[in-house]
Amino acid sequence: MSSLKEIGGDAEQAVAELCSCWEEENLSSEEKCKNMSEIRQELLNFWQGKISEGKLHVLKYKVKNLRDEIEVWWEKCCLSEDEKQKFEDYKSTNYTPELYDCHVEELKRLQRKFYRTEALFLLIKKHQDMWQCVVNMDNQLYNRDRLFQNRGAQLLQEERDRRAAQKDLPRLEEVIKKETELYEREHGRPFLVYGKCFSDMVLHQKEQHKENQKLLKSARKKCENRAATSDAPKVTTSVSKLKRKLVSNTQSPAVTESKQARVTSCDKLATRPTDVCHPKLGLPVRRKLIERNVSVPVKQP
């Protein structure tokens, strides 16, 4: 980063060069003064523009930081979206000192509101954290992978935490209801949590959680049905039987003739004389098959 001395030295060098140019042009002293005043005004405008840009960047930075803080305090004060929309300057892009002052006032207003009933807001924060834990644990019941990630008795610890939360949550709700009723009697106006009474807000959260549980249950059932369908055995036909059937139905004439020839040769072998052993010598004796014509006498009437 250049120092002011370096910038001043560069400016003096530039002015000296301009004066030498004016001397060569034989300008009068009046013209030189006029040119110098114009240069001075241009430099002044340039630096004023740079200063304005710098101030604008600083103002944007401050407003952005204030808006981040306002969002944090909105959450601490449990404001609804409609209540947030009432602060219209939050979305303004006309960065002026007045806009900055409006953000400062909004931040102070939120801080005053929180600190007036700090104990009650802390109880509500505790309730919301506990309720979120219950929601997360209920959603884990429909996660099939958690059964394979059970390390160090994690499932047992989750069940203990769920029972403890289900036991402590109603007690905390009763305490908050009594505190909100006391606030309403003292101030004469309802104590709103995210734009609703505390009882209505709790009822709305439970109904919404019940609907989400139904959706998760139906989604898990669809996954199980899809997995059962994909694991079912597939019905396949016997390829070997089909091949044998096709071969038997599509035999060629040559194969048929060879089969007939084998059958004929077998018949010829069956009509040849058979060899029997001689009863005394034990030698084979060829005997022909003799067909005998037996005449059956016919009775005369």
For the chain, which residues make up each domain, given as ranges? Answer: 8-46, 58-116, 117-226
pLDDT, mean of residues 60-71: 96
Give the whole-angstrom CA distance, residue 74 versus residue 133.
Answer: 22
* pLDDT score recorded for residue 258: 60
pLDDT at 285: 47
* Mean pLDDT computed over 231-251: 51
Which CATH topology does 117-226 take?
A: Methane Monooxygenase Hydroxylase; Chain G, domain 1 (1.20.58)
As a whole number of angstroms, the distance between CA 230 and CA 235 comes to: 13
**pLDDT for the residue numbered 296:** 47
Residue 207 pLDDT grade (very low, low, confident, very high; cuts 50, 70, 90): very high
Picking from 150, 137, 131, the residue whose alpha carbon sits closest to that of residue 213 is: 137
Query: What's the pLDDT band for 84 if we cut at 50, 70, 90?
Result: very high
What pLDDT score does 294 carry? 45
Mean pLDDT over each residue of the chain, to the nearest integer: 77
Q: Does pLDDT of 254 surpass 80?
A: no
Q: What is the pLDDT of residues 14-47, one digit of tens each?
A: 777 877 887 777 778 788 788 888 888 888 888 8
Average pLDDT of the residues in 243-262: 54
* Residue among 114, 104, 109, 93 nearest 65 (CA): 104
Per-residue pLDDT at 118 exceeds 90? yes
Per-residue model confidence (pLDDT) at position 100: 95
Radius of gyration of the chain (CA): 53
Q: What is the pTM of this model?
A: 0.62
- Please report, for residues 66, 68, 122, the alpha-carbon distance to residue 116 in angstroms, rounded to integers and kept in the order given: 21, 22, 12
